[in-house]
Chain A
Amino acid sequence: AQSVTQLDSQVPVFEEAPVELRCNYSSSVSVYLFWYVQYPNQGLQLLLKYLSGSTLVKGINGFEAEFNKSQTSFHLRKPSVHISDTAEYFCAVRGPSGGYQKVTFGTGTKLQVIP
């Protein structure tokens, strides 16, 4: 079965500084990878997804992620964060377990942007 590991539960960063949120997955076969954002008291919103093709994926709000098959990673990056980026970010994987219908989520990383 596939699994997702988000190594950092909380990441504080100053406004306008760059940030990287780490995500590693485990699966022996092809998977599809996602990043979701959850703002306070709201549901999850899709930031970006990797399905195939270019390993650098650009999403909404200036975020991007790079798929690295050899390192089984899908880290999320933003070159300059804003206060409004304060939220919880979830990495997720869809793989063959459950016929590709189940999405396995990581435990989340809380990004706190400091003014």
Chain B
Amino acid sequence: EADIYQTPRYLVIGTGKKITLECSQTMGHDKMYWYQQDPGMELHLIHYSYGVNSTEKGDLSSESTVSRIRTEHFPLTLESARPSHTSQYLCASSVGTHYGYTFGSGTRLTVV
């Protein structure tokens, strides 16, 4: 039973559309993360949050934005999707880095 949920699982959308990828966790974790990954390839940290109203950009520059209004919710938004945004987006949460991450199932985004 997943404790971190990502929706949608798959999304195909046209260029220029605004999209929001949802991520929610029920574990009360303060730390949450978004990673971008081409299938089976390296994971790139694009955003992270250490708590409510705290968000930071990660190692990989991304045109997406995030918000953290509630502890359990960490949505990622693309204002204008482009084909270069086609990728898998993985959300994760952690009670502390030394405990590791719990990952969601991911959203596979295709922009046509």
Q: Do A and B actually bind? A: no
